[in-house]
A = this chain, B = another copy of it.
Amino acid sequence: MKLTSRQLEIIKIVKENEPISGDSIAGTLGLSRATLRSDLAILTMTGLLDARPKVGYFYTGQTIEPLLYEKLYKKTVQDILLPPILIHQGTTVYDAVTNLFMYDVGSLYVKDDNDDLIGVLSRKDLLRAAISNPNTEKTPVAMIMSRMPNIITITKDRTILEAGSLLLQHSIDTLPVVEIDHPKKVIGKVTKSRIMAYFINAGNEIEKENY
């Protein structure tokens, strides 16, 4: 919702003089009470101002964000995707773990010779392999990874809400973002961590703008 400059001025006057009567606001602005009626109605309806009979108007300090839902949830995967880390299927478990620490990521994607996505490795997959297998330097990741078609992917045109819902529904930490026309070509990733960071960063921005 976009407030008019007059409405913003009313808010400013109320903030500085609360409680203040409608007549006093009108007087300050050099306008008639009738002229202000619809502005005051809108400002109280939306919860920005609070009106108490015989006392006057108060500023509630509430943020008006009729579009916050759309702003937060309807952004697309495109807006938040991270670069993926792809390793070859012949890579050993040991080297995969090294990559995980080197890039400080929570998951790795596995590709074949054509650069097609054929597997996903989570920290959990690697931990299970590392704790039970003394030969991590000889075991290829292809032996322990989750494989296509059991991998859930997403495209960049889907919303953040859809991406998050897929992650929850399938109890996974990462979603390879693939090309719309080539479901095995990875162009990015979306993770639980990334989505959480997105919501918290958005919250801190709103906080900074409004409080």
Contact = CB atoms under 8 A, between A and B. Distances in A.
A8 to B, nearest CB: 13
A130 to B, nearest CB: 4
A168 B197 contact: yes
When all copies of this chain in the complex are counted, the total is 2
A41 B4 CA distance: 12
Interface stretch (A17-25, A81-89, A188-196): A188-196
Contact of A65 (B42, B48, B66, B100): B66
Query: Which of A45, A124, A197 neighbours the largest number of chain B CB atoms within 10 Å of its CB?
Result: A45
Interface stretch (A141-149, A159-167, A177-185): A159-167
Interface in A28-51: 37-38, 41-42, 45-48
A58 B154 CA distance: 33
Interface string A181-211: 0000000000011011101110110110010
A196 B203 contact: no
Contacts of A165: 200, 204
Contact of A69 (B45, B68, B161, B197): B68
Interface of A: 1, 37-38, 41-42, 45-48, 62-70, 72-73, 94, 97, 100-101, 123-124, 126-128, 130-131, 134, 136, 161, 164-165, 167-168, 173, 192-193, 195-197, 199-201, 203-204, 206-207, 210
Given A63-B69, A126-B131, 12 more contacts: A1-B46, A1-B47, A38-B38, A46-B66, A48-B66, A72-B203, A123-B123, A130-B130, A130-B131, A161-B200, A168-B197, A193-B196
